[in-house]
Amino acid sequence: MKPICLSACLFLAFFFNLFSVEAQGTYLGIDAGYGFPASKQLLTADVTSKTNTYTNPGSSGSTTSVTNQSAPYSMGKGINAGLFGGYMLTKNLGIELGVGYLMGLSTSQTTETDKLTSNTVATPGSSTNSTDISTTSFKGSMLRLIPGVRVQFGNGKIHPYASAGLIVGVLGSITKETVDNNSLTISNSTSNTSNTNDDIWKYSGRISMGFHGALGVTYLFTQKLGFFAELTSCFQTYSPGKALHTVSTTNGKDNLAIDTENLKETDYSSSYTSTTGTGIPTATGSPAQALYQVFPFSSVGLTVGLHLAFGNKD
């Protein structure tokens, strides 16, 4: 986080060096806020699946009950913080540049599969019960450069404004973790088993583009210092360039040491060619190939902060 903050400060310092800080209409500020997920995609899965299989004298059968549920999500959900600055070309129109960091919060979904098999013919009273509970969670982060325009109105202490611009997302990162707990219980047996598998994938690479807009109002405590609050919206998607399998354990035992390169890393592209057939070995010594995945990073939320003006006369 420190290198990101330092880079942001240097970037803004270079930007403001283009204008004299004494110039009419120059301003800068700091902000923080929270974004709620918007333009969401769906995580759809069989949330619960229960199967009962039985064998009775003269009859046998099986019943399955499945509960389905959709889980809308966007990795734009989370905490936003940043710096911004600009220059008022006129009293009402200005240009600005923001540098913000998104620290996304986790979204998860749990699925459960239960299978009960009873046998009252061959072994009266015997049963086998298997359970699998799997939880997958996503969270993302990103450094955002936001160039845009600002329109403001008002005199005195209160200044309503609107801003709009592009989002250039760099240093994007997504963490996907799946924790799977499964167990097998056999009545009248000591061969019962229980396992926990933990897998973490890290997605990164490539630049993301989007749009940003805000409506707010600034209240000036003095001629130069003010407080502002705004409603913000970010519309953005992100397609990573690669994925790394950073954690793979079974009951705490590391699996990555025995995994081949194609199981540890995936490179994403808009197209690729694969060849399979008799006598053609699987390429295990290089990353796997896959098509781009699109992850939602949109949000709407509330942002507050401090506004510092230089040279304003109203």
Q: Where are the domains of the chain?
A: 2-241+292-310
Per the listing, tokens 């600005």 go with 96
**Which span out of 48-52, 214-218, 274-278 was modeled with the highest average pLDDT?**
214-218
Q: Residue 41 is encoded by which pair of tokens?
A: 């995609």
Distance CA 24, CA 86 (A): 11
State the CB neighbour count (10 A cutoff) for residue 191: 7
State the CB neighbour count (10 A cutoff) for residue 260: 12
Does the pTM surpass 0.85? The reply is no
Give residue-wise pLDDT tens across range 93-131.
999 999 999 999 998 888 888 888 877 656 666 778 888
Task: Answer whether 80's CB lies under 8 Å from 102's CB.
Answer: yes
How far is the first Cα of the chain from the last one, in angstroms, to the nearest whole number? 38
Give the per-residue pLDDT at 15. Answer: 44
User: What CATH fold (topology level) applies to the domain 2-241+292-310?
Assistant: Porin (2.40.160)
Residue 49 pLDDT greater than 50, yes or no: yes
Give residue-wise pLDDT tens across range 220-275.
999 889 999 999 999 999 999 999 999 999 999 998 888 888 888 999 999 988 77
Task: Answer whether 298's CB lies under 8 Å from 37's CB.
Answer: yes
Give residue-wise pLDDT tens across range 178-187.
999 999 888 7
Residue 33 pLDDT greater than 90, yes or no: yes
The number of residues in the chain equals: 314
